[in-house]
Structure 1
Amino acid sequence: MSQRGNINAVHTTNGCDPDRLVEHRASTSEQAAKLDAGGFSLLIWNVLKGKRSDWTSDFLRFCSEKDLLIIQEAYLTEEFRDILQKEQYNWDMSIAFEYRNIKAGVLTASKIEPSFVCTLQKKEPLIRIPKTILITMYPLSGRDQFLLVANLHLINYTMSVSQFRAQVRQMQRILSKHPGPLIVTGDFNTWSDKRMAVIDDAAGHLNLKAVTFKDNNRSLVLGHHVDHIYYRGLEPFETISTAVTTSDHNPLQIKFRLPAR
């Protein structure tokens, strides 16, 4: 089920049909608004449900002039809805849970409407709350190509990597159907070497590269970075990771462009 408004949708269904991805690439109108292939910007941030003081001011500062917002632990309060509307974002959200009538999960917002949206869920084995993945697709200007974006919040509370690997492979099956530019990013919960090895394996199969940061302020858990940006068929040309106190994760900012022909 989804609740679709003029510029937003809340998704509660589980499962992505690879055939739909192919169909939507073929059926997208030539007149549809497109991302600028010459350069587009993203904010990636686990916002801890916006619980900490001054979160709103930081969010407004970081989302300024961003084409895409890739948010984990979004908490869909009226205040957050109002911010997204005021900043003129379309948004889609994959729900992990609802508390006191407020939905929480991963949220992807964009200045243009996506041409394809689907969501994947997998329950945490111990706490039974789903972790979610939201996949969106956008046409790119001047090229007969589409950008596919996967917004991840991966399983956390397990000692074994079996459920973690299952969630990654579930996503990998969908992403492997897309031949074009690809961004896979979010909170990977890669707090161990074994978890990181699962991601490295998936990145290899999907021909993804990892973004590196000159000044690396990405958040650490047990000595491992947990927030990542992987990409394919694109050139990153600005990367920023900023230390903040308004979440337990530090936001990442990046600009990509399509390589010159």
Structure 2
Amino acid sequence: MRKKTYAMRYVAGQPVERILAPGSFATIGKALPAGEPLYAESTLRVLVWNIFKQQRADWLSVLQNFGKDAHLVLLQEAQTTPELVSFATSNYLAADQVPAFVLPQHPSGVMTLSAAHPLYCCPLREREPILRLAKSALVTVYPLPGGQLLMVINIHAVNFSWGVDVYSKQLGPIGDQIAHHSGPVIMGGDFNAWSRPRMAALYRFAREMSLREVRFTDDQRRRAFGRPLDFVFYRGMNVHEASVLVTRASDHNPLLVEFTQAKDSEREKKQR
């Protein structure tokens, strides 16, 4: 019997809450009344990082230096250790994690830290066909200044599989979520796009969803077989600045992207 997919929400001073996947897309942006927007400044800062289950020294100092000023932190391979939960609840209004698999002490999976409470939360899991371990993804929605709703996708893509059938299968439900959302979208994570067919499948998905890729001038992203593994895609936003932070605190380097909201005229032009 397949295990139920759920997210665990960590909020300072409150009991940990288990959140099951919503029953329909109609709940996107309607599950809760909109609260404070995700940011009030001119730019939205997003950090994307595979944190390697916090197995290396200095992971916390990297988060403290770069994560505390970000409005969104999209982590992959995040273990819910007391240190990480303490950082998340001390610096963010909410931290949502989708347990992909349970290690001896703490579950590991994608975790999204946010400066605003999500209005919608949809956890997703896909099992690795060879190792039989699961990879997770998380779709959340947040209010933006001006009343728009931002959809955020945090993903750790399946790694070991023959062909791209399972890889594309994992992207399918994410595409369904994006298709039912009319506002801006940011999708980031470890896509394990280490082969030409995987890259082709990922770029085909991005085109179908009208997502653009964030480009990095000094591209120090972690690579396998010469191809980058970590990406950020977006629509309905403008990239203000994008950089890769070089560190030994994980086997992946964090991506830091600053976005500004696209004006109505720009959004209309992109949608044509």
**Cα–Cα, structure 1 residues 70 and 6, in superposed 2: closer, same or farther, change >3 Å?**
closer
* Residue 27 (structure 1) shift: 5.5
Note if 1:213 corresponds to 2:213. no
1:1-261 aligned within 5 A: 3-4=8-9, 6-7=11-12, 13=20, 15=21, 17-19=23-25, 22-26=26-30, 28-30=32-34, 32-36=35-39, 38-142=42-146, 144-261=147-264
What letter is aligned with 2:204?
D
**Conserved? CA contact 1:74–1:107, under 8 Å:** yes
**Cα–Cα, structure 1 residues 6 and 58, in superposed 2: closer, same or farther, change >3 Å?**
closer
CA distance in 2: counterparts of 1:174 and 1:132, whole angstroms: 15
TM-score when normalising by structure 1: 0.91
What letter is aligned with 1:55?
W
Runs of at least 4 residues off by over 3 Å: 1-13, 15-18
* Residue 29 (structure 1) shift: 2.5
CA distance in 2: counterparts of 1:201 and 1:53, whole angstroms: 37
CA distance in 1: counterparts of 2:194 and 2:17, whole angstroms: 29
**Conserved? CA contact 1:213–1:239, under 8 Å:** yes
CA distance in 1: counterparts of 2:24 and 2:219, whole angstroms: 35
* Residue 122 (structure 1) shift: 0.7
CA distance in 1: counterparts of 2:122 and 2:38, whole angstroms: 19
**Conserved? CA contact 2:128–2:159, under 8 Å:** yes
**Cα–Cα, structure 1 residues 12 and 147, in superposed 2: closer, same or farther, change >3 Å?**
closer
**Cα–Cα, structure 1 residues 99 and 116, in superposed 2: closer, same or farther, change >3 Å?**
same
**Conserved? CA contact 2:184–2:234, under 8 Å:** yes
**Conserved? CA contact 1:12–1:95, under 8 Å:** no
**Cα–Cα, structure 1 residues 251 and 6, in superposed 2: closer, same or farther, change >3 Å?**
closer
**Cα–Cα, structure 1 residues 198 and 140, in superposed 2: closer, same or farther, change >3 Å?**
same
* Residue 57 (structure 1) shift: 1.3
* Residue 131 (structure 1) shift: 0.6
| Structure 2 unaligned spans of 5+ | 1-5, 265-272
**Conserved? CA contact 1:10–1:95, under 8 Å:** no
CA distance in 1: counterparts of 2:119 and 2:199, whole angstroms: 31
How many residue pairs get aligned? The number is: 256
**Conserved? CA contact 1:90–1:109, under 8 Å:** yes
Moved more, 164-173 or 183-192: 164-173
What letter is aligned with 2:242?
T
**Conserved? CA contact 1:10–1:93, under 8 Å:** no
TM-score when normalising by structure 2: 0.88
* Residue 257 (structure 1) shift: 1.3
Work out the percentage of aligned pairs sharing the same amino acid.
30
Does the residue aligned with 2:131 lie in a helix, a strand or coil? coil
Deviation sequence 1:2-39 (CA, Å, 0-9, x none): 555545856575x55442xx334246435x11123742
What letter is aligned with 2:43?
G
Moved more, 78-87 or 62-71: 78-87
Alignment RMSD (CA, Å): 1.9
**Cα–Cα, structure 1 residues 248 and 6, in superposed 2: closer, same or farther, change >3 Å?**
closer
What letter is aligned with 2:231?
H
**Conserved? CA contact 1:94–1:132, under 8 Å:** yes
* Residue 45 (structure 1) shift: 0.1
**Cα–Cα, structure 1 residues 2 and 192, in superposed 2: closer, same or farther, change >3 Å?**
closer
